[in-house]
Structure 1
Amino acid sequence: MKRIDEIKNLLLTRKEISVQQLCSYFKVSAVSIRKDLTKLEEEGFLKRVYGGAVLAEHTPSIPKSCDFGFDNPIFYQLAEYACSCICDGDIIFLGSGRTCCILAKLLHKFSNLSVVTNNLTALDDLLASGARIYLIGGEVTSTDGITLFSSPENPAHFAPNIRVNKAFTSIYGIDLNKGLTVNSIISTYIYRYLPTIANKWYLMVSSDKFNKLSMYSAADLQDVDCIITDRCPPEYSKLFRAHQIEVKVLNAEDERITHETTDS
């Protein structure tokens, strides 16, 4: 049942998918995938086509509470705030994850943008924005069953001379001792490369990611130049100030009160 649900998530995001892609994603046989697709076709969720399936034209609407995390208002607020840091003509890197996918939908506001990205799910929105797109290749994977991204094991081999003036990413977890952490080793490749190509790295992070730890260390906290968050715990604010890391808080007044209470 879990695999069926994940196939639904992927189709809702991508609208179409091949049997081969699903086999690679779930590490199961084509026979198993075809059985799943047949079941979903009988339910009216998808339509089978040669080599795969497409989302049915009349798929019932999904309740907002089941919108797989994209309905989280914090993600939209973080992405909107990130937009205030972007200017016409910028060369930016856009990372993977849902907040970055939302940011991609907002880039149509800008002209003459160049975007380097490994975010496959956001590709349609990036192309629609009119920006020049430079896609990083490598192994394709997903860590949430919803969004897809690619990452070469050595990004420096992709474009040794590439430079961006701003990078925008999200992260799975932030820990005072372990830094930025992710739940896939493939995710670490890009994060470790970013400080060498970006003049300024913006990290969009919801407050629930603080004190959250995952398996793989992706970067040190000191590698980030700016944190965009809805709330920053006092102990992290102190560390960020010590390392001259800029912090942009959605509700700046609440954050000021928190700092004053802590400092007193």
Structure 2
Amino acid sequence: MVESTHGKSIPDDTLLYLDSVTVSFDGFKALNDLSLLIRKGELRAMIGPNGAGKSTMMDVITGKTRPDEGKVLYRQADNSSADTDLTRFDEAAVANMGIGRKFQKPSVIESLTVWENLELALAGRRSPFATLFHRIDQTDEQKISDTLDLIHLAERRDDLGANLSHGQKQWLEIGMLLLQEPELLLVDEPAAGMTDEETFRTADLLREIARERSVVVVEHDMEFIRALDCRVTVLHEGHVLAEGSLDHVQNNQQVIDVYLGR
């Protein structure tokens, strides 16, 4: 990436750049000239009051919503010399480029075992016809086993999804996304509904994942954000209000006035 539409120089290690993105719904600007940069291998937390534009931002990145103005420039690892404008593609195409999204509510198949959910996610990289006749090989088995270890569910591999706790279902869905080998993982409020222990184990999991790929986490739980120990972006009225460490943004007077309320 050389420069944005405003002439700003973009670092070479950029994975994703939202360049002056605006999205309006019935005259309301959900995103208002939003510019945001995510680096390769970065863990980033996104906070902001309801209506700040967090969900709309993820909808734009994943191809669910097309912006009125602006670009979403993405640089894949195997194509380091060119940028792809994601706004020209639909959700399926964006996912195939290496962008995975986890919604707040887990969507595991409760009638299948933990292992079967992961196996199905692995097969999801293939066409429906190929999936029907695919037999898992030793390489795939190892990938699933490694993922089970990462998400702390190796001992639950034969349990039905229905028998997992809420937090374990969240971990399983994260594992299912990881088997599709995304370069960027978007995670929406993963700590919601978790016990304290599950919350901190989830923070550890996301930090571990961020060693090999970029992770963007939208969250309201400040203790969880602190456990992530990463750069924080505060959105307000569809644009970036502040960025920096959690301590930095918590002491920003504008952030206090519009979000933290103290």
* Alignment TM-score, normalising by the size of structure 2: 0.31
Greater Rg, structure 1 or structure 2?
1
Q: TM-score, normalization: structure 1?
A: 0.31
Greater relative contact order (CA < 8 Å, ≥ 6 in sequence): 2
